Amino acid sequence: MADQLDNQATVQPVAVEASSLRDQVATIRRALVVSPVRKWLLWTSVGIMAVIIATSIGQVLLNRWNQPFYDALARRDMAAFLHQLLVFAMIAGGLLVLNIGQTWLNQMIRLKLREALTLDLIDQWMRPVRAFRLANAGAIGVNPDQRMQQDAAHLSDLSTDLGVGLLQSLILLVSFVGVLWELSSGFVFHINGWSLAVPGYMVWAAFLYAGTASWLSWLVGRPLIKLNSDRYTREAELRSSMVRVNENVDAIALYHGEADAKQRLELDLGTVLGAMRRIYTAQINLSWVTDTYGWITVVAPILVASPVYFSGDISFGGLMMAVGAFNQVHSSLRWFINNIGSIADWRATLMRVADFRIALDETDVLHDTERRITFDQNANGSLTFEQLQVASPEGCTKLSEQHVEIRAGDRVMITGEPGAGKTLFFRAIAGLWPWGSGKIGLPAGETLIFVPRVPYLPAGTLREVLNHANGHAPASDAEIATVLAEVGLERLSSSLDRVGRWDHELGDDEQRLLGVARLALRQPKWVIIDEAMDAFDGPSLRRVLAMLEKHLKGATIINIGRGQHNIQFFPRGLTIVKDSGAPALKPAHVRAGAIDPPPVAVRRKK
């Protein structure tokens, strides 16, 4: 229960300010500008633009080929027909090569864009202390793995496909508007003896037709932006629930909690399915618009040009050439209609990725209106606390003494009542939680080693785990075997070069003992421990204390916990108290356009 209260004390509310599309695009642009693959992206973008321009020239040539080909058919001219087939083969062959080249460049841009976005997000996330602060910044810090892996990949795919498609449509539009305008110059309407020529008639008809369809498509498809964002949020919650169940299968089995876990998963799945149903309904509504226009487009250009054809002002080949040019212009203008669903998906994904990066930037200045703890360096090599108060939403955590000095070589036990904020105090010393008042004086020139309740064991070989962040020459096999035997983990001596998930293979106590072995190998001069020793029983605790006495002789050891473990080892005691009457921490401000809803609080079984 105390652990839960201490954890709750570190959760802070966050006030959300909406980020604009401009903010989001600018954020992604800044990420790409500083990316190590920016030059590669630039040159592939130039390459695909050149290929698209060459393709549009080929499309214009292919459109011009329509008139002599269909005129040859109308005249039943076999020689001209065969010649035009040869011309078609040459044009089609060139376009085939260009299409394959465009596909390759498209895939490379997609790959490099994902690399740039993901590397940038990982770099921003792994800046010192950022991941911790973001995790405590509210809903924007929930499921960062999905935003960096799935959302960044999806944004890369959508941005590439939509960007290349838009560029291709714009170039084709520019290429064929002139062709269609020139063809329209011969269109004359004869009405009751009057002749009426409309300059660029087919161009205006294409713009009016596509513009109407685009407006209706946006009107019907716009809700998909919010619906897609909501779906990704629900998918993230379902994935998080499944991971949480998988990581706690032993506890679930012991508590016979399968029914509760199943109910939670079914509830999360239900929210995902509900979000998907809403998306499918919106997509069906959109399909009524897009499919209707799709079928009309089959005959629309012929209907537009038919009055001129039936009046005899153009040949059948000229009609087909005009129809082909109309279809190219309309196809370019239809880009928005054809991609309205993808645009809505892209907009929702952009919000999730860009808002996550904005939050990473701004998490360093959360609570910028709040007072912060001052950190200083003590030339005499001591650790001091001057009127220290650590602020949280529930009040302030502080030591019962206003002035505290801990000298090199001291061994101090800091205790407190459940809910006093012991872990919060530990994080404040480490600089993870800077909000509050007073001053912490650190020993100048010394590196403080912080030991959390469960040590961090990176994936890799056991040798790498024990030498993690060592800062010294790697320990020898004999040294490692000695300390493992001293903590009772001698069975691991034969597994030094085996790669494993040690945080899964070892129990909590074994992980803590491995952390103690790592301390013995590193031999730091200053160690601050957060309740890591509270879980040890009598024999294990005596073994650990004996090990610390042997390998960390002369080191300063500060243990934050629930009680005096050994008054001979920790002769000095300090007390943490909670001052609920002190000013509480105010909400932080994070800009975001599509913040995930906060996770539902679930009452845990005691």
Mind listing the pLDDT tens digit for each residue in 208-243? 777 787 788 778 877 887 888 788 778 878 887 888
**Pairing label, strands 411-416, 403-406:** unpaired
468 or 404, which is more confident? 404
| pLDDT of 572 above 50 | yes
| pLDDT of 604 above 80 | no
Q: How far is CA 260 from CA 143, 251, 257, 266, in A?
A: 22, 12, 5, 10
CB-CB contact of 411 with 556 (8 Å): yes
CB-CB contact of 411 with 573 (8 Å): no
| pLDDT of 15 above 60 | no
CB-CB contact of 136 with 12 (8 Å): yes
pLDDT band at 442; cut points 50, 70, 90: very high
| pLDDT of 440 above 90 | yes
315 or 77, which is more confident? 77
Q: What is the pTM of this model?
A: 0.60
| pLDDT of 344 above 70 | yes
pLDDT tens figures, 66-89: 888 888 888 888 888 899 899 999
Stretch among 37-51, 349-363, 481-495 having the lowest mean pLDDT: 349-363
Listed in sequence order, the residues at least 6 apart from 161 whose beta carbon sits closer than 8 Å to its beta carbon are: 106, 110, 342
pLDDT band at 435; cut points 50, 70, 90: confident
pLDDT tens figures, 518-531: 888 888 899 999 88
